[in-house]
Amino acid sequence: MSIGSEVVVLARVVVVGAGYAGVMAANRLAAVNRSDVRVTVVNPRPEFVERVRLHEHAAGVANAVRPLSGLLHRDVRLRVATVDAIAERSVLLDDGGALDFDHLLYAVGSTAASGLAGSENAWSIADLDGAASLRTRLRQLPARAHVVVIGGGLTGIESAAEIAYRYPSLRVELVSQSVASGLPESSRTIIERKLANAGVVLRTGLRVTAVRADGVETDAGRLPSDCTVWAGSFDVPDLALRSGLPVAPDGRLRTDDALVCAGHPRIVGAGDAVAPPGHVGDQLRMSCQAAIPMGAHGADTVLALIRGERPAPVSIGMTGQAMSLGRRDGFIQATHRDDTPREFVLSGRVAAVVKERVCRYTITLMRFPRAYRWLPGPTPTAPAPPPVAAR
Ligand SMILES: Cc1cc2nc3c(=O)[nH]c(=O)nc-3n(C[C@H](O)[C@H](O)[C@H](O)COP(=O)(O)OP(=O)(O)OC[C@H]3O[C@@H](n4cnc5c(N)ncnc54)[C@H](O)[C@@H]3O)c2cc1C
């Protein structure tokens, strides 16, 4: 709204975190071109980290960092800082500053899971600092050095294959209970064969109990390691918990089905760090595939709240699980919208090309936030009835 030449800001929106969800949300808010909504993004660094490329970054085949200035809408303000606490109507920053907000979008993402004994002896692939330091370490290793990758999920699979192809003189082992455990047996067999083709030694059926400076302890004995890569599950930052906001047992911000934080109508969440109720969110596994539409929906929810309207429930369908296996091989498992596997799979070079295009496409989507549409979710199951009060 403008009175004479003066622009009156009706709503100050602070977006905490400039990952996939935060950038999409901020850009979509700004793209509706309301001069009366001021959007400020707070992020610890002035760069966007393409986390989906961190295994490529670690192996030295790609750069996962790009300036946020080239990605954020021109009307979005960037404040380089870390949010230390979220108060009633303001956020407190680690540089001693504070930002007041009318609406806050919580999009702090995820980090490497903690809790593994000796994890300080491993390089994490879940964040830029870990991946950058791993890149340096891999370059220093002599031929035939042992690299042990812990974790048989998609991140561990991609990391092991990428390192093995980039450094064929190293001995790369993937240690896990199982490989790609959520996928059908036939898909797992193909992935295991592809890992073997890459030169990765599979050690499945093992549970890692501790990481040492020179090896990995498992329930079946010790494996020597000159460089251990931690690619286990993700944790979320404890900012919501520390700020006294309602969280799920794993620390994710609890929201209603429109992504509004339970009991805090000015706070909306999106991405890995958020736990919507199961009837709309069960299929939303931590992924940029879910974070981008969650960010877009979060922006629409904030706009509805600014207009005094009731926000719509979130509805997001999943499409598949895609993994690169080095630069020339890959595997894609198509899924139903509820993230359960379909029969269709893509494999080999064509899958590698599709996966690469998907990674590039995520950046394009964030640059055209207003036009962005996504696949609706599966028919929601009925929300669980409220518990009956005990007499
Ligand atoms: C190696 C690897 C490969 C992957 N491959 C795929 C893939 O192929 N497909 C897929 O869908 N997903 C993939 N993922 C997962 C995907 O990267 C994440 O799910 C996605 O990044 C989540 O997006 P987000 O916006 O929620 O959080 P993030 O991208 O993690 O961004 C969160 C942002 O918040 C910032 N932040 C955190 N705390 C604060 C604070 N207190 N104050 C201010 N800012 C803060 C962080 O610095 C970060 O910039 C992969 C992940 C890894 C590690």
pLDDT tens digits for range 44-80: 999 999 999 999 999 999 999 999 999 999 999 999 9
Model confidence at 210, pLDDT cuts 50, 70, 90, reads very high
Alpha-carbon span 175 to 160, nearest angstrom: 10
From the centroid of its chain, how far is CA 65? 15
- Note whether 279 and 318 are within 8 A (CB): no
Query: For residue 24, which atom of ligand 1 is closest to its CA?
Result: 25
Q: Whose CA is nearest to atom 12 of ligand 1?
A: 287
Span from the CA of 167 to the centroid of ligand 1 (angstroms): 26
Cα separation, 112 vs 128, whole angstroms: 11
- C-alpha distance across the termini of the chain, in Å: 54
User: CB-based contacts of 382: which residues, under 8 Å, 6+ apart?
Assistant: 279
Q: Is the CB of 44 under 6 A from ligand 1?
A: yes
Backbone angles phi, psi at 223, to 5 degrees: -115, 130
- What is the pLDDT at residue 383? 60
Distance 143 CA to ligand 1 centre (A): 33
Domains of the chain (ranges plus CATH)? 9-110+236-317 (3.50.50.60), 119-230 (3.50.50.60)
Mean pLDDT of the chain: 94
Identify whether the C-beta of residue 306 lies closer than 8 Å to the C-beta of residue 37: yes
Nearest Cα neighbor of 105 from 30, 18, 16, 34 is 16
d(CA 289, CA 372): 13
Give pLDDT tens digits for 261-309. 999 999 999 999 999 999 999 999 999 999 999 999 999 999 999 999 9
Ligand 1 lined by 172 (C-beta under 6 Å): no
Those residues whose C-beta lies under 8 Å from the C-beta of residue 39, and which sit 6 or more positions away, are 13, 15, 26, 29, 30, 73, 75, 76, 77
pLDDT at res. 328: 95
Q: Which tokens hold the place of 172? A: 């790369």
Q: Is the CB of residue 237 below 6 angstroms from any atom belonging to ligand 1?
A: yes
103-106 and 37-43 beta bridge pairing? unpaired
pLDDT band for position 8 (cuts 50, 70, 90): low
pLDDT at 390: 41
> Per the structure block, which two tokens stand in for 60?
């030295």
Amino acid at 148: V
Closest atom, ligand 1, to C-alpha of 272:
26
